[in-house]
Structure 1
């Protein structure tokens, strides 16, 4: 029997379906060449910086791209130039494998975590209280026409987003256009997103 991180049983066919979508999308993401990625990045930045919730936001959580995700480094540079406070995620096992977010500037030292992702060194004075956050930009592997999100399968963002309305920040997914699928296999622990932005479209639910 196979159980997820919430202790809920998942069938082999259910896992296989989700994993096949992940494999396909990750393969597509990693097939993008540097020139295409640069074009995608410019289009996404243009959409994001002209989107009202981003314009109004003062504190924005964002991720550092890996695995063919849309490149967020130029976006971070633009947001910092617009005097936004930027926060990067850190995975910490002592808080039940949830994410915490650390203030980031170009001088912030970064280290590789166990998944090969750069993250800030934890400084207790720079940890963000989620209730102080305005916008969280969220990575995803695939999404569907109802705003359901498929992540990498570890559940970090699902757990972090469980009470986003309570904390009163706005989660916004960032994706390539091709990451849209008609319908994702979902479970009760999956957290849909109210907004997903791709290079050609702003999806809102």
Structure 2
């Protein structure tokens, strides 16, 4: 039976929301270990990522590791004038966070803290589901598809996008749309997928 994108989204969100706090913590630590083996991660100085929401795999250990290494970390902020787009703002231990319209914490908008997307080395993306072809299904708003629409491994290689997910978020196949941007790499606690 072929499920719709919305049915897959709902099913996988329920699956990841059922993970216990202990499972979430273990997954987050294991994810950091997977990322540490990647040259793209080892060589990155400016990294965009997200704060976990709705059962997403938590990149907090990754953030702490990057800060310890002296890297700059950036979080997505909903663009105030361009609906459906993201800005990336510098994030450190002193950054004041506010909740956006979706209830997700983000830095308060400050023009001096915005980083041009192409100035980031690495972009660690949340996702709802993925398949063995690198197809990514998000929450449905298209924010990351728009963010990655100009990414190309040769012509526009920065930032290098990597999807982050729990193992349970892999599905057999995703019905792809023409605006979907397949990822070149997805990291889970158990494996790094590369295409």
Does the pair score TM above 0.5?
yes
Task: Give the ranges of 4+ consecutive aligned residues of structure 1 lying more than 3 Å apart after TM superposition.
Answer: none
Tell me the equivalent position of 2:141: 154
Report if aligned partners of 1:130, 1:167 keep a CA contact under 8 Å in 2.
no
Tell me, yes or no, if structure 1 residue 121 matches structure 2 residue 108: yes
Tell me, yes or no, if structure 1 residue 60 matches structure 2 residue 50: no
Tell me the equivalent position of 1:164: 151
Report if aligned partners of 2:28, 2:60 keep a CA contact under 8 Å in 1.
no
Separation (CA, whole Å) in 2 of partners of 1:71 and 1:141: 13
SS at match of 1:136: strand
Segment drifting more, 192-201 vs 123-132: 123-132
- Alpha-carbon shift at residue 71 of structure 1 (Å): 1.1
Tell me the equivalent position of 2:79: 92
Separation (CA, whole Å) in 2 of partners of 1:122 and 1:49: 31
Tell me the equivalent position of 1:106: 93
Separation (CA, whole Å) in 2 of partners of 1:41 and 1:104: 19
Of 163, 169, 173 in structure 1, the residue corresponding to residue 163 of structure 2 is 173
* Structure 1 portions without partners, runs of 5+: 1-13
- Alpha-carbon shift at residue 74 of structure 1 (Å): 2.2
Report if aligned partners of 2:46, 2:119 keep a CA contact under 8 Å in 1.
yes
Report if aligned partners of 1:141, 1:150 keep a CA contact under 8 Å in 2.
yes
Of 172, 179, 183 in structure 2, the residue corresponding to residue 193 of structure 1 is 183
Separation (CA, whole Å) in 2 of partners of 1:159 and 1:138: 12
SS at match of 1:95: coil
Report if aligned partners of 1:113, 1:119 keep a CA contact under 8 Å in 2.
yes
Separation (CA, whole Å) in 2 of partners of 1:131 and 1:191: 17
* Structure 2 portions without partners, runs of 5+: none
Report if aligned partners of 1:37, 1:70 keep a CA contact under 8 Å in 2.
yes
- Alpha-carbon shift at residue 161 of structure 1 (Å): 0.3
The Cα RMSD (Å) is 1.3
Tell me the equivalent position of 2:37: 50
How many residue pairs get aligned? The number is 191
SS at match of 1:27: helix
Between structure 1 and structure 2, the one with the greater Rg is 1
Separation (CA, whole Å) in 1 of partners of 2:158 and 2:89: 18
Separation (CA, whole Å) in 2 of partners of 1:74 and 1:51: 16
Separation (CA, whole Å) in 1 of partners of 2:158 and 2:88: 16
